[in-house]
Amino acid sequence: MEHSPLKVPVMVDLHKEGKTPEYLFWVGCAGAYDDRYKKVTRAFTKILLHLKVDFGILGNEERCTGDPARRAGNEMLFQMMALNNIEILNSYNVKKIITICPHCYNVFKNEYPELGGSYEVIHHTQFLRQMIEKKKITVKNNDNVNKLITYHDPCYMGRANEEYECAREIIRELGADLAEMRRNRRSALCCGAGGGQMFKEAEKGDKEIFIERTEEALETKAGIIASSCPFCMTMLTDGLKYKNREEEIFNYDVAELLANSMGL
């Protein structure tokens, strides 16, 4: 059966129709531009559309939150981005933001309020777990049943915001077996991309951080390394390539795994 193309609602259009959606889905720069993470955006959007969630995206009006600039010391640029974004978000009367990036999540939840932008901020793993709890999402097939999956905690969901369980509960919901890495939850090792590192070569050392983390993930013997952050995904995918394991071990976002199990 041919499926007709899905239409993703954009805020500016909704606004013209006089509609204010319940949620703003903040796609983020990686979600919009990074070829690998675009697949995550698409998977998550399909879940939103399948659930008939009342949402919109900013599309061409979306801009970087300024997070990488702030963590790299450029407060001036961060605040320029933040104040502009807050103006746009407030002009659309946004109350709830769903984001698929822990860095965007952290900055919206913890740092925008001081600059005049207060929203209820929800990471996609939190949203998906809510939907599972409300029985709105049901796993339809055996795609992930009994598969061994390990979960890499993104620093900005984990330690930064103490959210450790949502992604794990989703993985369990898939019927998969969860294998923990040696360093997990509070003591999870960073993928190496935070604090602006994503955009620069690492300082001189004995090893790349992403290789250290990939090796830990491989130690679990899991066939799938799950994560919920675009930067972590880039780093772990690179790690698998570096280790020549990308043909047998796969790096998926929790949303992709769930969309697959839902048969979307």
Partner 1 sequence: MLEQIIFILAFISALGLFIFRLYRIYRYIRTARPLKFKFRSKRITRILKLAIAQSKIFNNPLVGILHAFIFWGFIIINIEMLEIVIDGVFGTHRSMAFLGGIYPLLLSVFEVFAVAVIIACVIFLFRRNVIKLKRFWNKEMTTWPRTDANIILIIEILLMCSILTVNAADSVLASRDHPHYPDVGKFLITGLIQPLFSGMTDSSLVFLERFAWWFHIIGVLIFMNYITFSKHLHIFFSFFNIYFSRFEPSGKMMNMPSVTNEVKLMLNPSAEAPPSSTEAPAGLFGAKDIRDLYWKNLLDAFSCAECGRCTAACPANITGKKLSPRKIIMDLRDRVEEIGSKLLKQEKNFDDGNDLLSRINTEELWACTTCNACIEECPVKIDPLAVILELRRYLVLEKGLAPGQLNAMFANIENNGAPWQYSAEDRLLWTENLSFKSK
Which residues, numbered 51-80, are part of the site for partner 1 (CB under 8 A)? 59-60, 62-64, 66, 68-77, 79-80
The residues in 7-26 that bind partner 1, with binding defined as CB under 8 A, are 7-8, 10
- Residue 208 CB, nearest distance to partner 1 (Å)? 7
Q: From the CB of residue 34, how many other CB atoms can be counted at a distance below 10 Å? A: 17
Q: Which helix (H) or strand (E) holds 86?
A: helix 75-91
Token pair 């952290």: residue = 106
Does residue 56 sit in helix, strand or coil? strand
Over the range 214-226, which residues count as b (16 or more CB within 10 Å of their CB) and which as e? bebbbebebebbb
**Residue whose pair of structure tokens reads 């929790």 in the numeric block:** 254
Residue 198 Cβ vs partner 1, minimum distance, rounded to whole Å: 8
| 264 is a site residue for partner 1 (CB under 8 A) | yes
Q: How many residues bind partner 1 (CB under 8 A)?
A: 78
Minimum distance of partner 1 from residue 94's CB (angstroms): 17
CA-CA distance, 233 to 101, in Å (whole number)?
11
Our CB check for partner 1 shows the closer of 45 and 220 to be 45
| Residue 65 and residue 103 in contact, taking contact as beta carbons nearer than 8 Å | yes
Question: Per CB under 8 A, which region of 3-11, 136-144, 168-176, 220-228 contacts partner 1?
Answer: 3-11
**Coil, helix or strand for 177?**
strand
Q: Closer to partner 1 at the Cβ: 63 or 147?
A: 63
User: Based on CB atoms, which residue is closest to partner 1, 172 or 183?
Assistant: 183
Q: What are phi and psi of 134, to 5 degrees?
A: -80, 5
Query: What SS3 class is residue 200?
Result: coil
* Shortest Å distance, C-beta 12 to partner 1: 11
- Considering only residues 223 through 262, tell me which ones interact with partner 1, judged by CB under 8 A: none
- Contact residue for partner 1 among 14, 15, 20, 32 (CB under 8 A): 32
Q: Which of residues 168-227 bind partner 1 (CB under 8 A)?
A: 186-187, 189-190, 192-209, 212-213
Binding residues among 79-138 for partner 1 as defined by CB under 8 A: 79-81, 83-84, 106, 109-111, 114-115
If you compute the radius of gyration of the chain from its CA atoms, what whole number of angstroms results? Answer: 18
**Which one of 50, 96, 136, 243 is in contact with partner 1 (CB under 8 A)?**
50
Nearer to partner 1, 20 or 260 (CB): 260
Residue 40 CB coordination number (10 Å): 26
CB of 177 to partner 1, least distance (A): 25
Measured in whole angstroms, the distance separating CA 107 from the mean position of its chain's CA atoms is: 14
Scan residues 149-168 and list those touching partner 1 (CB under 8 A): 155-156, 159-162
Distance in angstroms (rounded) separating the CA atoms of residues 10 and 58 = 6
